[in-house]
Amino acid sequence: MTALLDVQQLSKSFGGLRVTDDVSFTLSSGDRVALIGPNGAGKTTLVNLISGDLPPSSGRILLAGEDVTAASIPERVQGGLVRTFQVTRLFTSLTVAENVALAVMQRRGLTKRMFSSVMESAEVRDEWQGVLSLLGIAHLAAMPVTKLAYGQQRLLDLAIGLAMKPRVLVLDEPAAGVPHDESPRILEAIARMSPEIAILMIEHDMDLVFKFAKRVLVLANGALIFEGTPAEVKQNDAVRQAYLGSYADARSTS
């Protein structure tokens, strides 16, 4: 079966500094994969290469078998590769519903038509209502973004990503800035997503990572140093030294 996302020997250099070093991995339908690594490991650069924010120095990126290495960000989104960001990029002058409706309209090519009338058309309304209901925030539909708590903003960010109908969804620290006791809501929202979507999540909250991931990729100094199940990652000496440290030690005795 063709992988939804196939990253092949991807590298990126800035001058003489190689920040992504020959990285290869695949995502298939239904995958739940976490990308972890210490600060400066190159995680954001790797995601920028995958999403099209940066061109690679070498290597290829295939989306459902099609080479998208040179494709623009809109072309990748159209093909089903969608990314959320570590810092929310919401339209603060709009409501929750309007933010999601705008994403639906963008995907459908309707943004040149009158916003208010299209937003309330049956086809668009059904979509944004469905996405908000799926993530458990339908009750916030009429609320201005400026009134949302930060955790609610992160959920809205996920809703916008889902409105783009992704086949591959890249989540860049979806719980960043969210109080620790509220992060399970992010996990619950992800769990409600279609099991057919392949999800790659960058996250520093190890509790969240190990509850979410079926597979973990570990990046250090721009290179993929380990790939395996959460249990295998915790037990690997190289990973413990590079990143997990006391977390793995604490969990092994608990």
Mean pLDDT of 209-238: 90
* Mean pLDDT, the chain, integer: 87
Query: What is the domain range of residue 56?
Result: 5-89+165-253
**132 domain residue, yes or no:** no
Question: 120-179, pLDDT tens digit by residue?
Answer: 677 888 999 999 998 889 999 999 999 998 889 989 999 999 999 999 999 988 888 888
Helix, coil or strand: residue 168:
strand
Question: Does residue 18 lie in a domain region?
Answer: yes
The C-alpha angle 193, 51, 56, rounded to 5 degrees, equals: 150
Residue 118 lies in a domain: no
Domain count, the chain: 1
Residue 56 lies in a domain: yes
pLDDT at 222 over 50: yes
Position 250 scores a pLDDT of 47
Distance CA 152, CA 189 (A): 11
Domain assignment present for 80: yes
Is residue 5's pLDDT more than 70?
yes
Please state, in angstroms and rounded to a whole number, the distance separating the CA atoms of residues 165 and 81. 9
User: What is the per-residue pLDDT for 13?
Assistant: 95
* Cβ pair 8, 63 in contact under 8 A: no
CA distance 186 to 168: 18
Q: What CATH number corresponds to the domain at position 248?
A: 3.40.50.300
Higher pLDDT, 52 or 251: 52
Q: Does residue 138 form part of some domain? A: no
